[in-house]
Structures are given as structure tokens and as C-alpha cells.
Copies of this chain bind each other. A is one copy, B any other.
Amino acid sequence: MANFAIMGFGTVGKGVAEVLRLNSEAIAEKLGEPLNLKYILDIHDLSNTPYAKQAVSDFSVLENDPDLDLVVECIGGAKVALDFTRRALTAGKHVVTSNKELVATCGKELLAIAKEKNVNYLFEASVGGGIPVLRPLFQCLAANQIEEIVGVLNGTTNYILTRMVKGGIPFADALKEAQSKGYAEANPAADVEGLDAGRKICILSDLAWGREVSPEKISIQGISNVDLKDVGIASRAGYRVKLLGRALKTPDGRTAAYVAPHLVPEDCPVALVDDVFNAIMIRGNAVGDVMFYGRGAGSLPTASAVMGDVLDALNHRAKRRNLGWSEPADLVNIEKELPLYWYVRGEFTQAPEGEKLPDGAYITGPMTAETAKKQAENWGAAALLPVLRA
């Protein structure tokens, strides 16, 4: 029998317990032994729940139990979660998490501890919720040199943009609708301003190229300034406006990583990912483009990824998964160095060079963001958005 604990009994933690309850037989078969939920660590009183027997409030119980094999961290944030994860790994426990903030900001340190202690620290659920993407990236595509990663990485903003595109309603109203449906939080900044997508593109970059890309070092732009007018023009011209996390290797071997709303041509599969769904496209030098699609959030989908990692960690007790990333990557200055195509809209006296769209809009480029912004200012342009080109 293998013993594990859940730390943090919120949406994801409860989902993990529920997936074990639903599928305990299948899980035991895959593991070759029963999987026992020994502890649930939470600050709330669980004595009136079916989990009263497992409830503990003191982390040291987990830390000091020699029969505890693995800890699932669903606390969130990078304070208590960081402390407990460090201590759990140091105590020789495998740790599985869905905590993108912690992995994106402290993954390098935590993976180094895991390596030293010969245990696994796995985090498939931190990107794309239930969608298998990190393991396919580092394992199935292991024989590729990864060239580029582009993804719709945040379900909340994708829901809002989908409502703007298909419902024709402005950003503020679409946000309110997302909040009333439970897709956006009361304080939606982390989603709407692109930080959540930023953490995820950093984790993907870390794994793809083996060097650390920190969320605070990349350019992140959200969707709160996206104008319904541009969404409409884009749609009529065969594009969809999507918030993309994007990372690529430049010819000189550096890494470009950023988050911004883009015009995406409709014949790119990422353009057609609607509502709260996520999709991540990965380009390898052998495989070409592959895409992974599904629900990027939610209790059971996220728990599905967590439990997949739990099984993988326990199946690799003897020989841990060789994961990790080293010193910070050499990053491209997105603003000044990365040439992109640009959507511009305005009342131009002299039309920009490039493709003409309806209603006084153009696609021009390639040029850097810095140049594009200067030009847009000279033109008196009312809107400027990057365009994804194959």
C-alpha cells in the first residue's frame, strides 16, 4: 500500500480526493497496490465531512511520518506552499502540485532539492489543467529540439474573448458574465492581466529548453484594453483575437517569451479554441506542430492530472524522473528585438504598407514592438495588436 496526503482542501484538493474515490480500483491496478489517502492538511475544520478521519492541521505530522510516500500540494501561492514543499521534499516525500505560481517562481530550487533527495517533484496540472502537455513535451517529444510553443493558456480570458467575438459584447460585460458563471474571480487581475498565462509559458519554457524563465522577467500584457471594434474587424478578416502565451528560440540561441493578445488566423487550430478550453501548440524540429486541447481548469480535470503524476511518481520511486532546469535563460528583449507582424487601426492619411483589412485596419510588419508603437503614434493609430504568423 502507498500512502499519500493532500495539503489544501479547496477546489483541486477536493477533486483529488474525489478522483481517488471514483477510480480507486483503476488506480490500484495501475499502481500495482492500493493507494491510501492518509492525511488531509487544511486550516478548516473537516470533522463534519467524510474526511474527518484523515484531517490534520499540523504539517509536522506529515513530515515525520516515515510511512507517508507522497504529498499533493494544493495550497496555492508561494509562501506556506513553498515552506511545506521544501520541508516535504527534504523529508524524502515525493511532491505533486497544481501550483503554477510556485513552480514558475521556485521550481528550480525545489527540483534541485528533489534531485538531492532522490524524490520526484511533478506538476503536470500546473499548465493546461487536465490536458496532458508537460509530460508529452519532456518525454514523447524528448528527441526533438523544441522551436516554438504557443498556447491559449488561460480559460477565463479565453471565455471573455469568445463572448466578445461571438456575442459581440464589450470586455467589461463579458468579464461580469464570466464572474457570474464562476469562471473569473472577484479580483480577476491575475487572469485578465495575463499573469496566470505568463506563469504557464514560463514553466513550458523551463522544461522545453532546460533554463529558467522567470515570470517577472518576461513581457506580459492582458486583455483589458482589447476593443470590441478590433475583435469584430479581426473576425470579418478571418482572424480571432486570442490571449497567447508564446515562447521561441531565436536563431542566436536565446529565448523569447511573452504574453499578449494576438490576431490569430482562423486556419491555425489555436484560433478555434473557444470558451474555457485551453490549447497548447508545440513545434519540434522532427515532429512539426502538435497540439494538445482540453479543459484548462476545473476540479476534476485538474485532479486527473494531479493523480496521473501521483501514479507516475510512485512508479518511479527507485529511479526518479530526471527533471530540472538550470541558470536563467538568455532572454530576448521582446519590445526591442523580436520582429512581429502588427494589426493597426486608425484614420490614416498615408496607408501603412501591408495587408488591408476592413474599416481602416491594416496588417503591417515585420517590425519590433518599439518600432510599431512609434509608427502607430505617428499614424495616430487607435489600436495596435501583434499578429501570429506561421
- A301 contact from B32, B287, B298, B322, Cβ within 8 A: B287
Query: Which of A47-55, A181-189, A311-319 forms contacts with chain B?
Result: A311-319
Work out how many copies of this chain go into the complex.
2
Among residues of B, the one whose C-beta sits closest to the C-beta of A289 is B294
Contact B269–A141 (Cβ < 8 Å): no
Interchain CA distance A335-B46 in the complex, whole Å: 51
Residues in B with CB closer than 8 Å to A30 are: 142-143, 322
Contact A26 B145 (CB under 8 A): yes
Contact between B294 and A293, CB atoms less than 8 A apart: no
Contact A143 B307 (CB under 8 A): yes
Shortest CB distance A97–B (Å): 15
Question: If A284-B304, A286-B303, A294-B287 touch, does A311 touch B142 (CB 8 Å cutoff)?
Answer: yes
Binds B, one of A127-135, A216-224, A250-258: A127-135
Which B residues are CB-close (under 8 A) to A287?
A: 130-131, 294-295, 300-301, 304-305
Tell yes or no: A139 within 8 A of B by CB.
yes
- Contact call A311/B143, Cβ cutoff below 8 A: yes
A307/B288 in contact, CB under 8 A: no
Interface residues in chain A, defined as those with a beta carbon under 8 Å from any beta carbon in chain B: 15, 19-20, 22-23, 26-27, 29-30, 32, 124, 130-132, 135-136, 139-145, 210, 269, 272, 284-295, 298, 300-301, 303-305, 307-308, 310-312, 315, 318-319, 322
